[in-house]
Every structure is written in C-alpha cells, then in structure tokens.
Amino acid sequence: MPFDSELILRGQYEGAYVDLDTNDVAPTSLTVNDDGNVCIDLGNPGTDGRGLDCFLQFHDVCTTYQDTLTAQICDSDHLLDGWHTLMVFPIIYCYMREVIVTATTAFVGTDLDLVFTATTGTDTGVLREFSRELLTVGGIGKCWIEMQDAGDTYATLGDIVTCTAGTGVGTITKIGRVIEPWKQMVRRFSTYKRYIRPTLTVSATGNYGDVDMFVTDRQHQFPNRLLMTGGV
C-alpha cells in the first residue's frame, strides 16, 4: 500500500481523548482538530484504496437514553471542497430492549420507528426492528425497542404492547435483555479519492465518551502459507 496501514481518523488531541458529543466538528485539514478528528491523505489521485476497513471503537458507555450516533466516512480529491459521503455505519442507538412478543394483530413495515407502549407496565420506547414472524397473527418473534429511560424495562409477562398510531399489537411472552451500545463496529469500503475524513453526528444531548476511528488494510494482508510451510 502507498500509505500507512493504520490511519487514525479520530483519536486523541494533544495526548488526551475528547468526548464525542453534539459539538463534534468534522476536520478540514491534515492537522488534528480539537475534537480529535483529522483528514487523511491516501496519496496521489488515482490511489488504489480498495479493501479498506474502518473500525469505530467505543471506550465508554453512553448514559443518555434515546440518543443516536450517525458515523460516516467522506472522500474528496480536495481538502477544502468536494466532500461526498462514501460509507455510513448503521445508526447507533444508545440503549435497546429485546422483547419476545406473540402477535395478536399482525405487524407491518410502517410500525417501525413508531412509539411502542406496554399497557400495564406503562413502558414507552420506539420500535426499531422486529422479526418477520410478527407479520402474521400468532407469530412469535423479537422486538427491538429503543428505551426512553431506565424504567422502560418491558418486564411484565402477558403485558399488551402496541405500536401507537400503527398496526402491530402483541403480548409479551418472554422478557429479553438490555442491549447496550456497540463496543466496536467494522465496515469495509473502497475509494479512489485522495482524502478521507470522518463525519460524526450525535443527536440531542448525547455523549459517547472516548471514541477511536481508524482505517486499516492489514487484516486482508494474508501471509503466503505455501512458502511458509515449504509447499509448492
């Protein structure tokens, strides 16, 4: 490769981490900004930047419910303009609750992103994903709910859950687990542009703490095992 195998897009600033929060500013130069973000020069235009992996690593636990993080990599042939979104990580939600539900009224696709309310426990969150089994009455599947606060446990067996202003209705048949934010995410991408940079957007008042973002090609550089073992 014509460039270093571990390129830091976000890390430390002057020897210390800066929390990733709503004030994070995308970099505009090859010098690290005070949020720890920096543009990376991959080499002359036409550089073969195929098969790169971007690692997003979280060191802390986000404590603000219903906050999200959108992480992107942008590329350009010019530092000051021409930036385009190259790769987007899935939206990272702060806290999710996994609940097993039996559908009493079939769920539909438009139920996603609606308020999801438990009648008895008065738990409230947002339905972000559900199993295909819930598309049919009597189907048993999982619901992944973005919790509003620590009290939204959906922990009452037999409780009726409803997609407010939507279609899906079900009964909680098993209490699931709380899914904390990701500790590490990896996405592969390719580019022929000269520069890449991170764009990190945190919603509301969230704070994701210390976060690293770097790019590497190293895990795809496999050793020649035939030569190592003396094979032909």
Whether residue 118 sits in one domain with residue 41 = no
User: Is 60 exceeded by the pLDDT of residue 57?
Assistant: yes
Instruction: Determine how β-strand 84-88 pairs with β-strand 68-76.
Output: antiparallel
Q: In the numeric block, which tokens belong to residue 224?
A: 């020649």
Residue 164's domain comprises 96-179
Tell me the C-alpha distance between 54 and 69, whole Å: 16
Question: Residue 181 has what pLDDT?
Answer: 66
pTM: 0.74
Q: Per residue in 149-195, pLDDT tens? A: 888 889 899 999 999 999 999 999 998 788 766 678 899 998 889 89
Q: Which of 26-35, 60-69, 105-114, 215-224 has the lowest mean pLDDT?
A: 215-224
Whether residue 76 sits in one domain with residue 188 = yes
Supply φ then ψ for residue 134, to 5 degrees. -80, 0
Say how many domains are in the chain. 2
Whether residue 193 sits in one domain with residue 175 = no
Whether residue 153 sits in one domain with residue 54 = no
Contact 52, 220 (CB under 8 A): no
Average pLDDT (116-126) is 88
